[in-house]
Amino acid sequence: MDKTPKVFITQEVMTANYQDVERFGDPVFLSTSEVSNVPDSLHNRKLVAFIRSRFAAYNPSIDFIAPSGSPIVAGLVFAMAREKGTTFNLLKWNNRDRQYTPIRVSIEENQNVY
């Protein structure tokens, strides 16, 4: 069983350089498409099914999610991630340093933050 972390990139943007994600694991692009505005769109159903199939190998204890592109697509990926756990490894893009910063976020429901 492969224990190499994967970096699940929510949407590939052709003008972006994703080389830095390789510091954290093997890149896996989840989509290239945008969500359709058409209600009950067949495109959206296919897009969700495609993302879900690519995201099936996601392991929240070792893998990362790198939000990229459409916030709607990223939201779909985060909803799918929530089905697998409540603590996530994320990669946040830092424009100043031109690199990703790892962040671990827990959304445990019983945590009191304030």
Contacts of 95 (CB under 8 A, 6+ apart): none
pLDDT on residue 13: 95
- Tens-binned pLDDT, residue by residue, of the chain (114 aa): 568 999 999 999 999 999 999 999 999 999 999 999 998 899 999 999 999 999 999 999 999 999 999 999 999 999 999 999 999 999 999 999 999 999 999 988 765 656
Give the integer Cα–Cα distance in Å for 105 and 88.
Answer: 5
Asked, for residue 60, whether it belongs to a domain, the answer is: yes
- Against a cut of 0.95, is the pTM above it? no
Q: Angle at the Cα of 103 (from 102 to 109), degrees rounded to 5?
A: 155
SS3 19: helix
Asked, for residue 91, whether it belongs to a domain, the answer is: yes
pLDDT on residue 111: 58
Asked, for residue 15, whether it belongs to a domain, the answer is: yes
> How many distinct structural domains can be found in the chain?
1
- 22: domain range? 6-106
Task: Give residue 61's Cα distance to chain centre.
Answer: 14
